Amino acid sequence: MTVHIASVMFDANQRTLVKGTQSRNLEPKVFNFLTALLAANGQIVSRDQLIEKVWNNRVVGEGAINRTVSLLRGHFAALTDENIIETVPTQGYRLIACLEGLSKDPIEPVLNEITATENKKSTWFFIKVSCVITFILLFLVALISYFIKPDSFTHSNTLSLISAPLIALNGSEYKLSTTDSGQHILFHHLDENNNQAVYLYDTKTHSKKRVLTDSLATINAKGTQLVYATNIDKQCSIAIYYVATQKQQPLFTCDEIPTSLVWGENNTFYFTKRFSKSHPYQVFSYNVNTGRLKQITNPTSKNNTKGDFNFNYNRHTNQLAVLRYINDNQSHIIIINDDHVLTEHTVDLRINNLLWHPNNNDLIIADSASLYTLKTANSHYSLLKKLDFKINSLALLQSDNGPSLLISNLNAVSDIAKYNIKQKTHITWQQSARTELLPRMKADTQLILSTRYKSHHWWRIKGDNAQLINVDLPFELQFVRYELSDDGKRVLFSKHGDIYELNIDENTYQHVFTESKNSYVANYDANNNVIYSGNSSGNWQLWHYQRSSGQHTQLTVNGGYSGRIIGEYLYYSKFTVDGLWRKKLDHPNEELIIKDFNRINWLNWQIINNQLYFYRQETGVWAYNIDTHTEQLLLPKTNDFIHQYTISPDQQYIYWVRLKALQGDIYQYAF
């Protein structure tokens, strides 16, 4: 069957798009996506319908759907300039192009033709074996009914709420671990004044006891020991806390607090460690009895500074499940036993937490607000429960009634304050019940990133009004660094190694260049050309893209990550070391001008009228004059300061993100 979609011919039998001498082969999911749109005859195809028809009811994240429609649009864009597919916000997708040769039910005959041969071959086989299968199933049901006791715990695909909340302190409760008996829950708590403590909660007496402060800790299976990490006099250290005696045993120093700590067997615990902030997290083990430190994983460092950031240990099988970050839409899970990789699983979700299932060798995995069951035998995963809050951590709690699932949630709220530099006064500029992030200002345009509507979106602020910029992007925006053009009409940002430009007034976007350059931090120069960082060579360097010629010119050879061109100079920071450098554009020699310029400044630093604005973690926001080499503290740091800010174009105000009190509770669910 062939159908003309606008000026492009779709050959369903060959699974190709053809125009003249050009053709595009469609990937399986992309082909299914297009056939689903054609079958709808111009009607909207919802997300649920796509999951059913394209992914065969396999649960996938928004990222997988967005990538598929982006691929399909890319195939059409290579052949025609016409708009083929429309995204209907909150509803789905539909074909809007003119169609020729489309029958009332164009897709079913094609699918029938493709599968007819297989169906004929398999019909008699299924008839022959159906009686045998029926007999076997009946026998197994009888056998299971006989041997399984009535009070045995069985797997269910649903979760029911038992307790909400379980402890209910004011503030946030997070990072849970439990004992095998289920008598104790270890949890961390952050109060409204940002004081952090670690508590031990007794599930029988419902009493709690503070055991540590300013620490990350986990409890062992017997409930006798905690391993914890803390900073004392700016030195990270890892130690053991003995519950019965309250004595502490130092073990070794560390460069920074791990992202995760988990007890294994034989007095061994696992923790994350990285060589520097520019390297990915790796998993290490440490045996308290022998003092042996051993590296368990070694993820690649290319385009991945998060690495193996979370894991969970199965005490029954001695297997370690390691969660590896791939990108914003994919995660990799590695099952390890005795230093050997048993299985690996890739899921089209951004997983943040994982936990071994209590009844089998499967995993419970969680993204921001949904729980899934991952079958480790075949990598299939299915939705277990969708929650209406953000998941922070997971733990299993044993009891006489069977295991239950503990979930800690986290609700972060932030607003944006406006600071008058001359008068040294603050007022609240933007606020909501969600998070207000990353203010940016150029000309008369004021922009913020906010989650006040569903997820991350840009909002344009005009006086007292905030206007949603609802652009149809081929991915979830999430948290993203961005740059405004000097006239305030365009937004420059990078996603998945590509650089995009958004036209604010038209609500449209484009790739700045189509070549794959592994491009990240992007800034405009004075002529709206683009300075960007890339590591296609294996090292982060700065590049300059000339729009008129399409030429890419390498600007640095000794490293560069975030750069700006002022006159004849390039000012820039690096990915692996602190400091701000400058060099002449036509000369290789570089000069370090600010030594204590932290690498985290890549997110916000800017230059206005020869004043370079940057942040020091201990003190606040500073201004450095690039002509006189003098500097001045403008905004002293406060405890609620988040490292996100911008300077107004007239240099009179600093708009900065202020963290409000975190709220989080522990919820208990029965399987």
For 18-40, give the secondary structure using H, E and C.
Answer: EECCEEEECCHHHHHHHHHHHHC
CB 244 within 8 A of CB 224: yes
pLDDT at 300: 80
Nearest to 175 by CA among 428, 364, 449, 395: 395
Q: The tokens of 307 are what? A: 């690495």
Q: Supply the pLDDT for residue 119.
A: 39
For residue 63, the model assigns a pLDDT of: 66
Name the residue with tokens 């290319």. 302
Q: Is the distance from CB of 627 to CB of 610 less than 8 angstroms? A: yes
Q: In what order do the strands lie in the sheet with 196-202?
A: 172-178, 184-190, 196-202, 207-213
**String of DSSP letters for 404-449:** EEEEEE-B--EEEEEEETTTTEEEEEE--SSBEEEEEEETTEEEEE
Give pLDDT, residue 212.
Answer: 97
* Pairing status of strand 482-484 against strand 490-495: antiparallel
DSSP state, 601? G
Contact at 8 Å (CB) between 49 and 43? no
> What are 508's two structure tokens?
């449209």
Q: What's the 3-state SS for 64-107? A: HHHHHHHHHHHHHHCCCCCCCEEEECCCEEEECCCEECCCCCCH
In the chain, the domains with their CATH numbers are 2-102 (1.10.10.10), 160-410 (2.130.10.10), 414-659 (2.120.10.30)
pLDDT at 25: 83
Contacts of 33 (CB under 8 A, 6+ apart): 50, 54, 68, 69, 72
pLDDT along the chain (671 residues), means of 10: 86 87 84 90 86 77 75 83 80 85 46 37 36 35 34 50 82 95 96 91 94 97 97 93 97 95 97 88 96 93 80 95 91 93 95 94 94 95 90 94 92 94 97 94 97 91 92 88 97 93 94 86 96 87 95 95 97 95 95 96 96 96 97 95 96 96 89 87
For the record, the structure tokens of 72 come out as: 């399909």
Preceding peptide of 649 cis, ω within 30°: no
The tokens for 463 are 């006086």
Indicate the pTM of the whole model.
0.70
**Could you give the maximum distance between any two Cα atoms of the chain, in Å?**
90
CB 669 within 8 A of CB 405: yes
> How far apart are the C-alpha atoms of 390 and 397, rounded to whole Å?
20
pLDDT at 88: 78
- Kindly give, in sequence order, each residue whose CB lies less than 8 Å from that of residue 456, ignoring residues fewer than 6 positions away: 437, 449, 450, 476, 477, 478, 479, 480
Measured distance CA(29)–CA(205) in Å, rounded: 54
Rama region for 423: left / alpha / beta (φ>0; ψ in -120 to 50; rest): alpha
Q: How many residues does the chain have?
A: 671
